[in-house]
Amino acid sequence: MVSAESLDFHGSYPDDVVVSVENVYKIFKTHELEVVALSGVSLQILEGKIMAMVGPSGSGKTTLTNIIGGITKATVGKVYWANLRSDITKLSERVLTEARRSFIGFIFQVNNLLPHLNAWQNVELAARIAGVPKKVRQERVDRLIKLVGLEERRRNKATTLSGGERSRIAIASSLVNLIDTEGKGIVLCDEPTGDLDPETAQRILELFKELNETLGTSFFIVTHSQQVASMADATVEIRDGIVSGVHQLGINLDDLGGTRIVKLDNNYRLPMPTDLLEIAGNPSEFIISYENDRFILVPQVGELAERVVKLRTCRVCGQEIAQGKFICANCGSTV
């Protein structure tokens, strides 16, 4: 058990917040090389909602998912879990493992089913690993098998199941530790429909929706699929380790600018969407103004340092003063 004294309680979070990620950085170090995988990411996952995450390869999606799941620790920042009401970055691996059992489920693109076990046995094994008490294990596994619609296939070995059926067993396995948590749980999915045909994928997504509405479980889904993103309540867009946009229902992955909302992060940074930068010729400098209730960004051409030199002149003699100098070379006045 976790004592109250060992936890960093947060009373400021609304009751519907299941996970909150605040200003999270992750830096991987190998020898003398440092790779910044996440650079100040903040987001909240709400109870009973489905959130998708999209972004190119190498953008930080897997790293962020592992940090949310408590598998990888953030270098800097806070990760709040509702079941502990705590910042988990301060907790030991033992405490995390114990808490994860009744809070987080995982679904991967490759279903890790044991081929020599049948459908029911695979889910029952997941229940054992999750620490589900023996006296409730059978009843819970029976309920999950029914929920995912595989009662008639429960005795079939994994090798005889279709791809969609194996995905359903993987979903049932991910829920064995969450089904009695009254909604305060989350399933993390990494490309759950990546190997499925569109028709089977749609059935799996409909099952996600059904479970989401029936159990109140939250889903956080990493995807490249328009089919998956379309059914999410919200979609987070991540690029280069930064949340570059948030999208509500109706996202179109081929036209992200149509639904994108950009948000200031905790460091008052506003991410610039790369697709818009490319249209503008990839400028790196802007003049910003605020007029008629609108912020206006005007791209600038040329090097900033060159313009700074021209703008810095001596107030006494008007001589240009080089950047970094504080005394006029012409008259000796202090800038």
Position 7 scores a pLDDT of 41
Q: Which domains does the chain have, with CATH numbers?
A: 4-103+181-258 (3.40.50.300)
- Give residue-wise pLDDT tens across range 272-327: 888 888 888 888 888 899 999 999 988 887 655 454 444 567 766 677 776 666 67
- In angstroms, the CA 43 to CA 262 distance is 12
More confident residue, 180 or 197: 197
Residue 235, token pair as written in the block: 């979609």
Contacts by 160-163, CB closer than 8 A, 24 or more apart: 161/119, 162/200, 163/195, 163/196, 163/197, 163/200
Q: At what angle do helices 134-147 and 163-174 cross, to 10 degrees?
A: 140
Non-local (6+) Cβ contacts of 269 within 8 A are 40, 242
In 115-261, DSSP assigns E strands to: 186-190, 218-222, 234-239, 242-247
pLDDT, tens digit (0-9, with 9 covering 90-100), for 58-67: 899 999 999 9
**Dihedral sign, Cα of residue 45, residue 51, residue 56, residue 58:** positive
Q: Mind listing the pLDDT tens digit for each residue in 234-272?
A: 999 999 899 989 998 888 888 888 889 988 877 788 888
How many Å apart are CA 231 and CA 241, to the nearest integer?
Answer: 24
Distance CA 179, CA 142 (A): 12
Question: Would you put residue 226 in left (φ > 0), alpha (ψ -120 to 50) or beta?
Answer: alpha
pLDDT category of residue 79 using cuts at 50, 70 and 90:
very high
Predicted pLDDT at 2: 42
Closest listed residue to residue 79, CA positions, set 10, 159, 11: 10
The residues, ordered by sequence, that sit 6+ positions from 265 with a Cβ below 8 Å of its Cβ are: 23, 40, 41, 42, 242, 243, 271
Q: Is the pTM of this model over 0.85?
A: no
